Structure 1
Amino acid sequence: MFSLLSQKIKTTALLSIVLKEFIQLIRDPRSIIIIIFIPLFLLIVFGYGVTMDVKNASLVVCDLDKTQFSRRFIDRFTSSGFFNLYSEVEDINEIDNFLISGKAKVGVVIPLDFSAQIGLGRPAKIQIIIDGSDANTANVVLGYVRQIIQGFSGDIVQSFIFKKTGKMMPVVDLKPRIWFNPELKSVNFFIPGLMGLIMMIMTVLMSSLSISRERELGSFEKLISTPLNPFFIITGKTIPYAILAFFDSVLILFAGIVLFNLKVKGSIALLFLVTIVFILCGLNLGLIISTVAKTQQSTMALAFISTVVPTFVLSDFVFPVRNMPFLLRLISCFIPARYYLEIIRGIILKGNGIKEHIFSTLILCFFMSLTFIASAVRLKKLMREI
């Protein structure tokens, strides 16, 4: 009897604890958000964003033949769903500018004698120029190109040649050229991306935990009692972490050069200058997070969900943003790492200068200024509350 009563008491106590925890969860909206929002957010982002397919790759065409067959050949690309015709040019050399600037991923050159060679029953040479900076995308695109050419030869041209010559033969001689990364080494694409991902993780976590840690330890009151205004406090908080993050960026680049034979084709000074701007963006974002979250655990959770996951999925680090739904592409416009990766990949792999990435550089500088002001305003508000 006594053991049964003791068991009932323990069961009642256990149920009361469970009930109490549920009540506390209901009263804490932040916990509800974490429980419901984070799984849904990760499901949507990874479900729609994590794909290695290539769709709507930008295409620039130089059609020197300008005949019915050349037009049908171009239509095969645009109607496939894999390519989006960005521009048609009259000079082959104009294709270079589109590929170097990143506006186009594929260039197609149709020679002057394209239809004439087909009419004579001879293979017509087609030159395909592919941006190989992303090895995975380049391989997939080359497979699409071969598939389209095979379909074009089989469905349209072969019937025409067979009627004239009475024999079947390959009618398109593909001459592919891979630019910027001719060996199609994935490491040349991923190392710049890793620089952006690691810099974002380190800067956001380091700076966000600095204020959260002081708030937990009770030393934040001493900090705000000093005569320094929020702008000076923000500056003082970011300088040490900026130096450490910059040192890590140099270390990552050096390791890529030594261990993986990565070659920097552009200006290293420009590369590090853009890296400093990106580092300051990350540090400012971390400070904003630290003024919102009260504990180190909540700070890390918020930093992970608001910066690390979007940087990994929505920055072109691995998964092409252009293949994602419109909503995710729109969200990616507010991810600083997207612009940073575009710039440093252009510098490292293509040897680009500032003029090829002036828009992305200005956007990155705007993010740096905006996040600095926002972090100072948030810190000032927090100082008033305490």
Structure 2
Amino acid sequence: MAYLYIYAALMLLINLLYIYVLGKKELFHPRLITAYLTASISLAILFYFHLLPSNLLGFLLVLMNLIILFYFSKNWVVGTLVSAFIYAAFQIIWFFTYYGYHVLTQNTSPYPFLIVKPLAFCILAITMFLAHSAVLLSINHYIRKYDIYHILLQVHQGIRFILYSITLLLILLFINFIFYLWEETFFTWLSILTISAYSLLILLSISTVVFIVRQRLQQIFLEEQISYVAKLESENSLVQSFRHDYKNILLTIGIFLERNDLYGLKKYYNEELKISSYQELEDRVDFLDLRNMQILALKGLIGNKLGIAKQKGMNIELDIPQPIIRLSVPLIDCVRCISILLDNAIEESEQVADAQISVTFKTVDHQMSIIVANRVLDAKKIRISDLTRKHFSTKGDGRGKGLHTLNRLVRSWQNASLDIHMQDDFLYFEIVIPEIEVN
């Protein structure tokens, strides 16, 4: 019985460390610790007076974590995923420590196989603690880097996570009762099946978090792109307003010149027009066609990439003559394809003296052609057939994945095609997408 209390105390300590790491410091405060210790002591008292079987302690630990995490985070997503991950980690590590020792030594102690020699118990306890520490260290970096806790807090709490929580509790309760009812002869097979289930639970928890984080990072990226383009459009609006008043400005300047009033002209130019750089205005005019791209994700991407190319001194041509409202292919895939083409074009253009990049969206017979072209350094060295081959690159080892991915994505779209050809010193990539809706 003493071993069980020591083991339970160690589990509670490790459990608290998991909450500290997974929930960050802001979740880990005195009120949570007080609630945690109160709940733990209450379970210990109930168990001491034989009001709770040992089989239910694991289930009650999950329930305790779920309630405490939900109460202090006010979020079902955090409570469900964190409590599921913690308990699954506990069960898997227990399987390879105490239960593994039980199988190897044919120990006759009952479940949960804690009654062993003192030295063996200490070694197993230390091993268990080190294993949990390794898990915590391995996930801590990603939790801090991607701010996973705050991302989970921002997830919309739908009925699916409440149902997920209830389903999780019912499954764990069922497993614990199976452990309690089944005979020792079936325990090994049951344990293997159970550990497999807990492994799937860990994978499910991790994959859910990865999916949520990935979606959020993509959303942040697109929001930044959209913000950039909104600022760009605002500046372009000023340019258009200026161009509408062009004749009036010239007329006013002519009046100053007729009077030979250079001082007045300079004052008018500096104080009234407030133009710091005419070339800056001309640079912004190049992107006016971006107004016709009404898909915000693509607008942000194109505006950002072409802005970077412009800053690098590259000549840019953007032609979107008609409004683009909707695509017949997955938006995320299309964003990836255009990003690959623009990144490659910018990278190649950095090596060319008279760099030029052109981007065109044109529609003909309910089909859209997306054309990205750039001047290349040496057209004779480029073999079109090699460009989409996996791992092929003219830039060294470890490259060549982008165009292969582009080709694979386009081929996955129904009735879409990718054409690559060379004309003069320009390399053209043309993606044709069917049934495009244009206003």
**By the TM > 0.5 criterion, same fold?**
no
TM superposition score category, shorter chain reference = under 0.3
Using CA pairs under 8 Å that are at least 6 residues apart, name the structure with larger relative contact order, 1 or 2: 1
Given the two structures, how large is their TM-score scaled by the length of structure 2?
Answer: 0.20
